[in-house]
Chain A
Amino acid sequence: MILEQSLRRMAEEARMALERAKSLEEINEIRIRYLGKKGELTRILRGMGAVPPDQRPRVGQAANEVREAIEAAIAARTAAVKEKIKQVRLIEEAIDITLPGTKFGLGHLHPLTQVRRQIENIFLGLGFEIVEGPEVELDYYNFEALNIPKDHPARDMQDTFFVSEEILLRTHTSPVQVRTMERMAGRIPVKVIAPGKVYRRDDDATHSPMFHQVEGLAIDTRITFGDLKGVLQTFAAEMFGPSTRTRFRPSFFPFTEPSAEVDISCVMCGGRGCRVCSYSGWLEILGCGSVHPRVLEMSGYNSEEVTGFAFGMGIERITMLKYGIDDLRLFFDNDLRFLEQF
């Protein structure tokens, strides 16, 4: 009986010791003190010899129960202390989440590239292929094959840089129309856009001697002026938002007829009239028209059998409207403080 009392007392002592234990080391000490080879339990059980044999199984069972209870208490206390330590660690590990994150220092695509891609993607979706042509071009492709013979007054519309009498810097991307028609050699359908640099002998706040255009050309058996309108209306809505309205005004280009200039409702004021649209509510964004029969014929198409449309837009103009840029020269000045905004 004394032995059993000792065991119970020991169990009670161990429980209380564990309650006071604050660290894993203390718990370990307690384990060694009570359950270790030289611990309390062993010491008490050494007195087993004095226990009458018939009682030994009962005492043995009691000893096991005490051991298990202490072990369970140790496990519970260990878990509690570990949790406590973890909680403390988590608090201590708190960082200043307001410090800036690691810098990756990405560069920036030129805004003209970004807008050119948007334009390309819209027309790719409409089934147009992207083609290119030379920037230094023959007079023939830039003018003559576009129904602008030498001495035509329309040449005044585009002040030209010449390399020689017959070679010039292309003044528009339209020569790619002619080159494409030549390459296609009468085959249909033709649906291409041609982005690229163009050059005009002009330099002021609203003109740059170099700028970018995207040309478009479609030729097929049943292409109408209405199709031109539909395609460009789709483009305007994709580029400037679905609420954008378009307006087609008659104009003159020697290589298209009927010819038109396309206005969109002002991106700033929505058409109510503001400084950007000179209080007209409209912004001109491109020129277009049905391909002139003479241009088709000159490039090997039968103008009775096929019709087509063409358009040309300035990428700078569209970029300026999209981002509210007010000075064309910023595009080629390449001030990094400008470029890094895009």
Chain B
Amino acid sequence: MRVSLKWLREFVDIEVSPEELAEQLTLAGLAVEAIHCPGKEIQQVFTGRIVKIEPHPNADKLVVCRVSLGAGEPLQIVTGAPNVAEGQVVALAVEGARLNGGLIIKKAKFRGVESSGMLCSWQELGFDAKYIPADQVHGIMVLPPDTPAGMDVKPLLGLDDVILELEVTPNRGDCLSMAGIAREVAAIFNRPFRFPRPQVAELAKNIAGLTQVDILNPELCGRYVARLFTNVRLRPSPLWMQERLRAAGVRPISNIVDITNYVMMELGQPLHAFDFDTLREGRIIVRTAKEGEALVSLDGVTRQLTREMLVIADTAAPVAIAGVMGGLETEVTEKTVNVLLESAHFNPLSIRRTSKALGLRSEASARFEKGVDREGCLLAAARAAQLLGQIQAGDVLTGVVDNYPSRREPVKILLRPARVNYVLGTELATEEISATLTRLHFEVNNAGEELLINVPSYRNDVHQEIDLIEEVARLHGYNKIPGTLPCGVNTLGIRAREGMIADRVKEILVGCGLTEVVTFSFVNPGVFDQFNLPAQSKLREVVKLQNPLSEEHSVMRTWLLPGLVEVLRRNFNRRVMTGAVFEIGRVFYPRANELPEEPLKLAAAGMGEIAGGWNVPGLPVDYYFLKGVLETLQAQIGVNFSFTPEREHPAFHPGRTARVASGEEDLGILGEIHPDVLEKLELPLRVVAFELDFGKIIALAQERKEYEPLPRFPAVQRDLALLVPRNVPAQVVGEIIKQAGGPLLRSVTLFDVYEGEQVKKGFRSLAFSLKFLAGDRTLTVEEVASCIENIAAELVQKAGAEIRGEKIG
């Protein structure tokens, strides 16, 4: 909210700088986001009356004006403004003046005619485009004709003002007004608050009998105050009022509308002015809308109303959406003679629902939905009536209609000073607490050890003791409360097992060269087609967002892989050709009548080649790279992975993919992404990836490690080279060796694979390194030889292998 210091000063004396004021307001909970000094740069600009206009002798588009500053000779000013006319009062920047943006005005000749200054536009004085009257957008600023010449425009236009931009929290509806802020300022600085007491000059004619207000839904409209104005003369409001409205961010419209806005900004009570003669039978009926009713609101839009919406109606039809916006039909116009002024109180929830349902928010609805002071309706109506007379916009009939069916119950709260100190950790004396609340206009009565607090009617955010404790803390100053550490029973700061394993796994993956990424949990439903998933795939059962930001982010992910592949693609498009990334995150499986299941997944994807150096070759990011990552992982966290061929998964290369399991438990998939998928993604590199159920891995992880004594006798190593038919998997060969090797064979390591010219067709060469060890003796050459013989025989028989050679490793 924008707060003019000039306006604020009507209610409270301010003795500090705007910066200090902003700081203190911020520390009291009204965060000042900016301080504006709109006329900071403007100097030497005065009101001037155009006495005479003559054509420019040498230019068709220029004219020569004589502008009077009141006293002294009129100045000669050349201007090209299209809207200039004799008799106008304008803003004249004289020689030496400064304008918005730092422009300095000097005497100058325009096509041979001297000009002693410049007529200013709104823009040149720094006004925002939204405040400029339509007929003055392309020309100079024209001031009301009764404005005296020779005045400094800065005070006149509010250019000497300072505006604070405040952020008011949603609980403080009472601060959405100048008076509300002034009350806070008065409390903060312990200064008197000047309560507004408007004096209304009324005609002899009485409102009684001229109108009638009926409230059919008192739970939605607690109070309705009406006043009648007559002899209304619609015209622009005076400069001072316009200036205040602009300072508050409101565009001036006409004197009647400006009065309602002025009072709303000043006191926080939204008002509405009806053209009284357009109300059928001159009556106001506050009721909910009937099925099928509609209303053209002031902005010209036809609004379909529902039975939940509260409207102001006459005897025939709705004329306004209560608390949200008036109707076009009953709008105040130049023809208006009589005005009915509404100052009412509406149910915040109802206003909020209506405004949400209609997608229509106004300054009024924003205030009503945060709660307006229903005790303030009369005051606001009186203030409007006073202003009407003051600016000679019309006359006020005697009396008001005040229909007040739902009176406010006084709010009285017992406050225990000991509790204040208990909650805050302070040692405030009762008198201090009492004085603090009194400054905020709470009525404080002593009740033994305790204080009985009567809450002011506008503080609808204060209902219970804790609310008062906050008020005390806020005004006392949060920064005066000493910081302490909690005493009491010590607690153990522990990381849960899941978190520890996840952290460990991340370290290992980073150690393997993978980089962690974080992708959005919502994805494009199109990814399922992109990744070739069949129509019946479980992964297509998604948690859908009702109100996504876009289709691209409209369903919750059911797997991580598409996100990771997208990361690779994006990097590839930015010429980053190598990448190995991983993510640990949740996916979401819908469940009927329940929150979705949120299993934790671990996925990785990679492409390209991890660069080597001048002394080591590069490392291709391929199937074996990621398999190696998983094998490294299993040794570190104590889970055994097994890999079996997976030829069916439509997103993966049928010949380069494995299911990953641990014992009976399926964990996920590892493999190369199917070339069809990559083609759709326009990613011309091979991409390899895995996605595993991380929750299961955590459950399987075996942190317990048992020490095995070091061998006391030397191991014997033998290398065995074999020719094996190409279709026999290396794992099978390894298993045969292990089986046949017996208990002395401690480890089998494949160290070379070769197929090519020296190997006969349909075969490949595999070389294993075998380690034999006995716990109780040094093995003899014969023992080892017998083992090898056994192994060789089994390999020949079971794998169709040929032994190429054996050597002592």
Measured CB to CB, the residues of A under 8 A from B are 99-100, 102-110, 112-113, 117, 120, 123-132, 134-138, 151, 153-154, 156-157, 161-164, 167, 169, 189, 191, 197, 199, 201, 203, 209-210, 218, 220-227, 229-234, 247-252, 254, 257-261, 290, 292-293, 307, 331-337, 339-340
Give every chain A residue within 8 A of B574 (Cβ-Cβ): 335, 337
- B58 lies within 8 A of chain A by Cβ: no
Ranked 4 nearest A-B pairs via Cβ: A226-B425, A224-B425, A250-B29, A252-B169
Of all chain B residues, which has the CB nearest A163? B543
Docked-complex contact A113 and B467, CB < 8 angstroms: no
Of all chain A residues, which has the CB nearest B511? A106
A135–B588 CA distance with the chains assembled, in angstroms: 9
Name the distance in Å between B599's Cβ and chain A's nearest Cβ.
11
- B108 lies within 8 A of chain A by Cβ: no
Give every chain A residue within 8 A of B520 (Cβ-Cβ): 209-210, 332
- Which residues of B (178-228) have their CB < 8 Å from a CB of A? none
Whether A112 contacts B518 in the complex (CB less than 8 A), given A127-B491, A226-B424, comes out as: yes
A128–B513 CA distance with the chains assembled, in angstroms: 33
Give every chain A residue within 8 A of B582 (Cβ-Cβ): 107
- Which residues of B (584-633) have their CB < 8 Å from a CB of A? 585-586, 588, 595-596, 598, 610-616, 619
Contact with A along B491-523 (1 / 0, CB 8 A): 111111001000100110111111111111110
- B27 lies within 8 A of chain A by Cβ: yes
- B553 lies within 8 A of chain A by Cβ: yes
Of all chain A residues, which has the CB nearest B514? A107
Determine which of B488, B510, B570, B598 lies in contact with A221 in the assembled complex, contact meaning CB atoms within 8 Å: B488
Name the distance in Å between B114's Cβ and chain A's nearest Cβ.
44
A154–B173 CA distance with the chains assembled, in angstroms: 12
Pull 9 A–B residue pairs with CB atoms less than 8 Å apart, ordered by A.
A151-B352, A163-B596, A220-B486, A223-B486, A224-B422, A230-B484, A248-B478, A334-B581, A335-B570
A257–B28 CA distance with the chains assembled, in angstroms: 14
Determine which of A163, A223, A227, A247 lies in contact with B546 in the assembled complex, contact meaning CB atoms within 8 Å: A163
Name the distance in Å between B604's Cβ and chain A's nearest Cβ.
10
Name the distance in Å between A137's Cβ and chain B's nearest Cβ.
7
Docked-complex contact A124 and B494, CB < 8 angstroms: yes
- Which residues of B (431-489) have their CB < 8 Å from a CB of A? 464, 466-467, 469-470, 473-474, 478-479, 481-489
A233–B486 CA distance with the chains assembled, in angstroms: 13
Number of contact residues on B: which range applies? 35 or more
A282–B579 CA distance with the chains assembled, in angstroms: 39
Determine which of B464, B473, B571 lies in contact with A293 in the assembled complex, contact meaning CB atoms within 8 Å: B464
Name the distance in Å between A261's Cβ and chain B's nearest Cβ.
8
- B548 lies within 8 A of chain A by Cβ: yes
Q: Which of B426, B509, B547 has the most CB of A within 10 A?
A: B547
- B746 lies within 8 A of chain A by Cβ: no
Docked-complex contact B548 and A161, CB < 8 angstroms: yes
A79–B182 CA distance with the chains assembled, in angstroms: 99
Docked-complex contact B425 and A293, CB < 8 angstroms: no
Give every chain B residue within 8 A of A117 (Cβ-Cβ): 503
Determine which of A129, A203, A251 lies in contact with B492 in the assembled complex, contact meaning CB atoms within 8 Å: A129
Q: Which of B464, B481, B619 has the most CB of A within 10 A?
A: B481
Give every chain A residue within 8 A of B546 (Cβ-Cβ): 161-164
Docked-complex contact A135 and B423, CB < 8 angstroms: no
A340–B611 CA distance with the chains assembled, in angstroms: 14
A167–B509 CA distance with the chains assembled, in angstroms: 35
| Given A107-B510, A197-B521, 11 extra CB contacts under 8 A | A107-B516, A108-B515, A113-B506, A222-B486, A225-B424, A226-B425, A230-B486, A249-B31, A252-B29, A252-B169, A257-B467
Docked-complex contact A226 and B506, CB < 8 angstroms: no
Whether A163 contacts B521 in the complex (CB less than 8 A), given A106-B510, A130-B499, comes out as: no
Determine which of B170, B425, B567 lies in contact with A227 in the assembled complex, contact meaning CB atoms within 8 Å: B425
- B758 lies within 8 A of chain A by Cβ: no
Determine which of B423, B512, B547, B576 lies in contact with A225 in the assembled complex, contact meaning CB atoms within 8 Å: B423
- B429 lies within 8 A of chain A by Cβ: no
Docked-complex contact B424 and A110, CB < 8 angstroms: no
Give every chain B residue within 8 A of A254 (Cβ-Cβ): 171
A29–B399 CA distance with the chains assembled, in angstroms: 138
Measured CB to CB, the residues of B under 8 A from A are 26-29, 31, 169-172, 348-349, 352-353, 369-370, 422-426, 464, 466-467, 469-470, 473-474, 478-479, 481-496, 499, 503, 506-507, 509-522, 543-549, 553, 556, 567, 570-571, 574, 576, 579-582, 585-586, 588, 595-596, 598, 610-616, 619
Determine which of A105, A128, A138, A290 lies in contact with B611 in the assembled complex, contact meaning CB atoms within 8 Å: A105
Whether A134 contacts B595 in the complex (CB less than 8 A), given A161-B548, A226-B484, A339-B515, comes out as: yes
Give every chain B residue within 8 A of A125 (Cβ-Cβ): 493
Determine which of A110, A123, A231, A292 lies in contact with B485 in the assembled complex, contact meaning CB atoms within 8 Å: A231
A105–B617 CA distance with the chains assembled, in angstroms: 12
Docked-complex contact A102 and B518, CB < 8 angstroms: no
Give every chain A residue within 8 A of B353 (Cβ-Cβ): 151
Docked-complex contact A225 and B615, CB < 8 angstroms: no
Determine which of A120, A210, A250 lies in contact with B521 in the assembled complex, contact meaning CB atoms within 8 Å: A210
A218–B473 CA distance with the chains assembled, in angstroms: 20
Docked-complex contact B484 and A109, CB < 8 angstroms: no
A155–B490 CA distance with the chains assembled, in angstroms: 36
Docked-complex contact A109 and B170, CB < 8 angstroms: no
Give every chain A residue within 8 A of B352 (Cβ-Cβ): 151, 153
Give every chain B residue within 8 A of A127 (Cβ-Cβ): 490-493
Docked-complex contact A105 and B543, CB < 8 angstroms: no
A134–B591 CA distance with the chains assembled, in angstroms: 14
A252–B574 CA distance with the chains assembled, in angstroms: 44
Docked-complex contact A224 and B484, CB < 8 angstroms: yes
Name the distance in Å between B524's Cβ and chain A's nearest Cβ.
14
Docked-complex contact A252 and B170, CB < 8 angstroms: yes
Determine which of A203, A232, A335 lies in contact with B576 in the assembled complex, contact meaning CB atoms within 8 Å: A335
Give every chain A residue within 8 A of B487 (Cβ-Cβ): 222
Docked-complex contact A136 and B29, CB < 8 angstroms: no
Whether A226 contacts B481 in the complex (CB less than 8 A), given A107-B516, A129-B492, comes out as: yes
Give every chain A residue within 8 A of B494 (Cβ-Cβ): 124, 129-130
A234–B370 CA distance with the chains assembled, in angstroms: 36
A339–B582 CA distance with the chains assembled, in angstroms: 12
Docked-complex contact A189 and B553, CB < 8 angstroms: no
Give every chain A residue within 8 A of B579 (Cβ-Cβ): 336
Of all chain B residues, which has the CB nearest A289? B470
Name the distance in Å between B578's Cβ and chain A's nearest Cβ.
8
Docked-complex contact A191 and B491, CB < 8 angstroms: yes
Of all chain A residues, which has the CB nearest B594? A167
Name the distance in Å between A136's Cβ and chain B's nearest Cβ.
5
Of all chain B residues, which has the CB nearest A154? B170
Give every chain B residue within 8 A of A252 (Cβ-Cβ): 29, 169-172
Determine which of A103, A107, A109, A337 lies in contact with B580 in the assembled complex, contact meaning CB atoms within 8 Å: A107
A247–B171 CA distance with the chains assembled, in angstroms: 22
Docked-complex contact B370 and A153, CB < 8 angstroms: yes
Whether A108 contacts B570 in the complex (CB less than 8 A), given A163-B545, A257-B470, comes out as: no
Determine which of B474, B496, B517 lies in contact with A250 in the assembled complex, contact meaning CB atoms within 8 Å: B474
Of all chain B residues, which has the CB nearest A124? B493
A129–B588 CA distance with the chains assembled, in angstroms: 26
Docked-complex contact B516 and A339, CB < 8 angstroms: yes
A162–B554 CA distance with the chains assembled, in angstroms: 11
Give every chain B residue within 8 A of A100 (Cβ-Cβ): 613-614
Give every chain A residue within 8 A of B422 (Cβ-Cβ): 222, 224, 307
Give every chain A residue within 8 A of B26 (Cβ-Cβ): 249
Name the distance in Å between A156's Cβ and chain B's nearest Cβ.
7
A27–B757 CA distance with the chains assembled, in angstroms: 53
Give every chain A residue within 8 A of B596 (Cβ-Cβ): 134, 136, 163
A112–B543 CA distance with the chains assembled, in angstroms: 26
Docked-complex contact A229 and B543, CB < 8 angstroms: no
Docked-complex contact B426 and A333, CB < 8 angstroms: no
A99–B466 CA distance with the chains assembled, in angstroms: 69
Give every chain B residue within 8 A of A154 (Cβ-Cβ): 170-171
Docked-complex contact B613 and A258, CB < 8 angstroms: no
Give every chain A residue within 8 A of B424 (Cβ-Cβ): 224-226, 258
Give every chain B residue within 8 A of A110 (Cβ-Cβ): 515-518
Docked-complex contact A135 and B614, CB < 8 angstroms: no
